[in-house]
Structure formats: C-alpha cells, structure tokens
Chains A and B, each alone.
Chain A
Amino acid sequence: MSAIVSPVRKPLITGSKSYHDITEDLISPTEKTPNVLWVVTFLLSITTLGFGLFCIAWTVWNGIGTWNLNRTIGWGWDITNFVWWIGIGHAGTLISAILLLFRQKWRTGVNRAAEAMTIFAVICAALFPGIHVGRAWVVFYFFPYPNTRGPLWVNFNSPLLWDLFAISTYFTVSLLFWYTGLVPDFATVRDRATGIRKSIYSFLSFGWTGSAKHWQRWESLSLVLAGLATPLVLSVHTIVSFDFATSVIPGWHTTIFPPYFVAGAIFSGFAMVLTLMIITRKVLGLEDYITIEHVESMNKVILVTGTMVGVAYLTELFIAWYSGYVYEQFAFFNRALGPYWWSYFGMMFCNVLSPQFFWSKKIRRSITWTFFLSIVVNIGMWFERFVIIATTLARDYLPSSWSYYTPTWVEIGIYLGTIGLFFTLYLGFTRVAPVVAVAEVKSILKTAGDQYTGPNAHKHAHGHVGDHGAGASVDIDENPDTKIK
C-alpha cells in the first residue's frame, strides 16, 4: 500500500514537497505584506480604472454621441471589447470543468487563478452591454420582471437577450464553482491566522471542518458543476456568436460562427491565463506548482485552438469563393483590401501564424517565448473581433451607407479602464486568497510529486502499519521520505 512510484510520468509538483510545504508555499503570500512591485502595479491599475470610470460617467452624462458610432457602424469598440473579454473568460471554466472531466491532473496548478480570471473578465465584459444602451439608468428593463408597462416583456427570440441569460448564468455558475473550491482553502488560511484575519477567514470558510462526509459531497458537487459548466462554456460563446450569426449581412450571417467563436474564446482565454500565470509564478515564487509541464500543456491547447481558428478563417474564404455569392465574396475582398486591411493582416499574423510556433517543443517549453506569444495572441483576438464587427458594418449591402469609424478618447478610456479593473481585481485576489488550489494540489502529490514521478523518483520502502509505534516521533517539516516508512 505504498505510494506508486512511476519514473515514466512527468512530475507536476517539483521540489520534493510535503503536505505542509504545500500549505506554507501557497498560503504565505496571503499572510505577508505586499511588496513594492505589487503596490506599484496595484496603484497603476487603480488609476487606470479610475480614468475608465470617469469616461463611463462622461458617456452616461453626455450620451453615446461621445463615442464615434454612426448610422452604419452601430457597434464599434464597445462590442469588440465585450466579446474580447467574454472570450478571455472562457479559459477558466474550461480548465476547471472540462479538464476535471478529462481527469487532467495538471489543472490543479492553474484552476483557481484561471477561475478567478474568468469571473473578473466577465465583470469587465458585462460593463459594455450596460453602458452602450444610452439610457444606462434603465438597463434593468433587460430583465423579464412583472412591471406596470403592460406588463411589457422582453423579446425572448432575440440573441441579444439570450446573451443576457447566458452571461448572467455563466457569471453565477463560475462564481459558485470558484467559491466552492475556495472554502476548504480559506479554512486552511483560517487555521493559521490570528486576530481579525482569523475572524474574516472564519466567515469566508463557512465553518469548514474537513469532515469526510463533507469532502464526499464537495467532490460530488464539483463533478456535477463541472458537468454543467462544460456545456455552459460551449453554449455561452455560441450564443454570443449568435449576436452576429443570426443577422443578414455578409460576413456575419454564417453558420461557422459558433465553433469558430468558441475555439477563439478558448484560444484567447488560455493566452491570458498564461500571461497571468507566468507573472504570478515568478512574483510569488510558485515555479514548483506551476511548472513547465503546465505551461507546455496550455501551449498545446493554444496550438490546437489557434489552428482551429486558422482553419475557420480559411473555410470562410473558401466558402465565399465556392458559394459564388457576390456579396459574400466582396465581404472578404473588403476585409483584406478595404479601409481596415491593417486590422485584417494584424489578425491573420497574430492568430494564424503565431500559435504555429508552438509546434516546436523548445518554444513550447520556453517561458519567454510563451509570454511574448500569449500577448500577441490576445492582440490578435482583439483584432479578430474588430474585423468582424467594424469592417463588416463599414461595407454592407448598400454603398450609400458605407462609412468609417475610429474610436474617441472616451471609448479608448473605457477599454483601458476595464483592463485596469481586471488587474485591480486580480491583484486583490492574489493578496486575499491562495492563487493555487491548495487542497487539490495536496490530493495529487502522491501521484504527481517529483519524489514519486519522473526521473528523480525514488523508491520508498513501506513497512507494515505496526512498525509505527506511539513512541515514533516524526518532525512535521522533515523530508517526506522519513514520514512514510
């Protein structure tokens, strides 16, 4: 009944950690005072957020005229940013839910932070539908509640409303899933804390004791939530794609959008997770938990989804030609050669070309390359949404309606503000909660720790249980070899 030692498996936790080491390494960042780097980045984020809030207030006060939306181009940076943020949010749920169903142990190193990222990204995204309507003070009209206007109900047939339900559900389920996982970890922080911190974490950990029955239910809940969240991830971005696909204009009215958008969302989401994780693991010293194996696995996902996105682009071009439909053909000539050709080439370079670098194992396992390429991917995905929205609207069926769009400082400010909001929330999260799922990492230690797997695995001689007398005094912090005799 010894821990299985496998020199063949790749270790996911390095440094010969014991359970106590895991607790120490992952909880101590929440107990120390923040360092200068954190403070500076936080102040920068808060300032950017503040400017964004000012721009939003400016918009609500003065109206949508402060943006450059016009007769034909009714959606510009607002909806581009909305879809971009929602796309980014998809990685967290995929890592937590789909990788749980696929029994991929490496998800435990990144799932907590990725889920947090999802929640913050959805908050940033949800801002845009709220403020782009003009009368932001009556956005509650979106919700079907009994009212004195008839009661006037909302249009359940509209994809814009499906979006509302999809994103609200997505936010709620992600929040619940994330928090359920956090409860045992907050209990770990609580049991190490004193004074006011202890009462705060005692409140946050809901009275968790670690009872076997509770763990059993917790695992059952996690599994079902994962099973629910999986079709949710796929459906949410599908529904977002319906905002475009259910319209009639060429370039939008296409059945390829649902899988193309979902693959693109996972693509950009994983890129953002990598950007955040590479910084986090360096700053908090968590290279033993977020290893090169994790980075390589995420790069493989980026390669697959990036290739899918590339294939989708080529399919669109092929179908435009094959269909013989002149308006569809024009739509794509326009994308490549029209007034927004620069965004199309930015998109093609960043999305089609850059993930292909990950075919090389050396580049997949290089932190520098990964960081650089993850940012390139996110830029590319922003361009993709911009190409779909602005380029298509600028040149639709009627030439007399053709126009051009550039953002105003207000729109740019709001976008920067959401980036500030995202980083403010993320930096706050790293202070308050363990960035890696403590209990889950402990549960994979025996099967993925580097003292049991990989080239450094060494055999443990297991005696019978009776060899441990009550007189055996074992120091808690010692090398695990001596604990498991």
Chain B
Amino acid sequence: MQKGHTQVLYGLYNDEEILLDAVRQAKKDHLDIMDVFTPFPIHGLDPIMGLEESRLHQAGFVYGATGTCTAFFFMTWVFTRDWPIIFGGKPYWSVPAFIPITFELTVLFAAIGMVVTFYVICGLGPGVTNEVLDNRITDDKFCLAFDTTGVSAEKVNQLKSFFSHTGAEEVNTKMI
C-alpha cells in the first residue's frame, strides 16, 4: 500500500458473527469493501466477500512436479550418462532406488515454492511493514474497511450509518 495516500474509514466489531452479518449487509447495499481484517481466519467469510479461491495449491502442484522431474532426470543422467558405476550388482538405471529421493525432492520443491509464492503474492516478507489499522485487530477486534479517498462527505455519512446499523463498536478514519 502507498503510504499516506489512502483515506480509510473502518469499523471495529466485537464478534465474527456480527462481522459476517455486516459484510452480507454491505454486499446487499452494493458497498465497495476495501478489506476485512480479523484476528483469525473466519470460515464463511470468503464466499460472502466474493473472494476467489486461491490458486496456491495449483502452483504447489507445478512446483512439486518440477521437483519430481529434477530429481529423477538428474539421477538418471548421473548414473547412465555422466559416470555410470555398478553398485551392488544393480543395473545402471535402478529406478526403485531412485524413488525415495524423487519423492523427497517433490515435497521439498512444493513446500519451498508454495511458501515463497505465498509471501510474495501477499506482499509479506522479512522486513516488510504494512500499515496496521488498529493494534487490536490481531487481538480480538474484527475490522471492516472502506476506501474513502476522494469520496463525498455524503457517501462517508452513508458508510458511517451503515456501521452503526450493523453494530460496529467503533468507527475511525485513518490515512495509510
């Protein structure tokens, strides 16, 4: 997020059930939600918000397949092309012996690939700082935020009344 350029109007709720109702109401009123922040993942929130399913697991599959191929073809190349050695009377291309390492590298590539992808697409990482709307969001408050940059005062009042009707404990604005 660009610092100091976005005006945010956000409401804090005390319970996830109230938040879920508020998000439903916002969708019904065709309000454009900037984001929802919670202290833990809320089941049922994503479809109400209209969030698309994450494609992270598809990426994971691709990374894993890369690992499988890397491991298997590398070992095959080493023992059939580069420096074939007879180990214990086994054939040069002893596929069953290659399976454990192939499996391990599949898991390793999939795990590292997915974790790095996760941090990159979320914009998180060591040393990254993001503006936190309220310190209590990671404690016990549930936050619904609207982007009100350049929005008319009338619209802002409409949003404020939305918050009071849906049971928000506090309503604040912040420039982030």
Contacts and interface: CB of A to CB of B under 8 A. Distances in A.
Interface of A: 1-3, 18-20, 23, 144, 150-153, 155-159, 161-162, 165-166, 168-169, 172-173, 176-177, 180, 183-184, 187-188, 190-192, 202-204, 206-221, 223-225, 228-229, 231-232, 235, 239, 242, 439-440, 442-443, 465-470, 472, 474, 476, 483-484
B168 A157 contact: no
A231 B64 CA distance: 14
Contacts of B124: 183, 206-208, 214
A20 B74 CA distance: 53
Contacts of A188: 39, 138-139
Given A156-B75, A165-B104, A440-B40, A225 B123 contact: no
A476 B141 CA distance: 9
B146 interface: no
Q: Taking each of A161, A221, A442, A467, which has the highest tally of chain B beta carbons within 10 Å of its own beta carbon?
A: A221
27 contacts: A3-B17, A19-B39, A144-B78, A155-B85, A165-B100, A168-B104, A172-B111, A177-B111, A184-B138, A188-B139, A191-B138, A191-B139, A203-B126, A209-B37, A214-B122, A215-B41, A218-B118, A219-B41, A220-B54, A223-B57, A228-B110, A465-B25, A466-B167, A470-B164, A474-B14, A484-B15, A484-B17
Contacts of A211: 35-37, 122
B119 A206 contact: yes
B17 A224 contact: no
A446 to B, nearest CB: 8
Contacts of A202: 129
Contact of B41 (A216, A242, A476): A216
B14 A206 contact: no
B94 interface: yes
Given A156-B78, A212-B38, A213-B35, A468 B18 contact: yes
Interface string B14-36: 11011011100100000000011
Contact of A153 (B64, B83, B108): B83
Nearest to B124: A206
Interface in B132-165: 132-133, 135-140, 143, 163-165
Contact of A207 (B40, B51, B74, B128): B128
A210 B122 CA distance: 11
Contacts of A228: 60, 64, 107, 110-111
A192 B135 contact: yes
A161 B79 CA distance: 15
Q: Taking each of A161, A235, A470, which has the highest tally of chain B beta carbons within 10 Å of its own beta carbon?
A: A470
Contact of A173 (B111, B130, B164, B168): B111
Contact of B140 (A18, A144, A187, A467): A18
Contacts of A180: 115, 118
A212 B139 contact: no
A191 B132 contact: yes
Q: In which size bucket is the chain B interface? A: 35 or more
A150 B83 CA distance: 9
Nearest to B164: A470
A239 B100 contact: yes
B139 A173 contact: no
A224 B57 contact: yes
A151 B78 CA distance: 10
A481 to B, nearest CB: 12
- Which 6 residue pairs are nearest across A and B when measured between Cβ atoms? A468-B167, A19-B140, A207-B128, A470-B164, A215-B41, A191-B135
Contacts of B22: 465
Contact of A210 (B57, B94, B138): B138
Contacts of A20: 139-140
B107 A231 contact: yes
Q: Taking each of B38, B79, B124, B135, which has the highest tally of chain A beta carbons within 10 Å of its own beta carbon?
A: B124
B105 A207 contact: no
Nearest to A3: B17
Contact of B87 (A155, A190, A214, A217): A155
Nearest to B128: A207
Given A165-B101, A192-B135, A439-B39, A216 B125 contact: no
B39 A210 contact: yes
A168 B103 CA distance: 13
A173 B67 CA distance: 14
A239 B79 CA distance: 21
B97 A212 contact: no
Given A20-B140, A150-B83, A188-B139, A206 B125 contact: yes
A235 B18 contact: no
Contacts of B169: 472, 474
Contacts of A212: 35-38, 42, 45-46, 49, 51
B105 A169 contact: yes
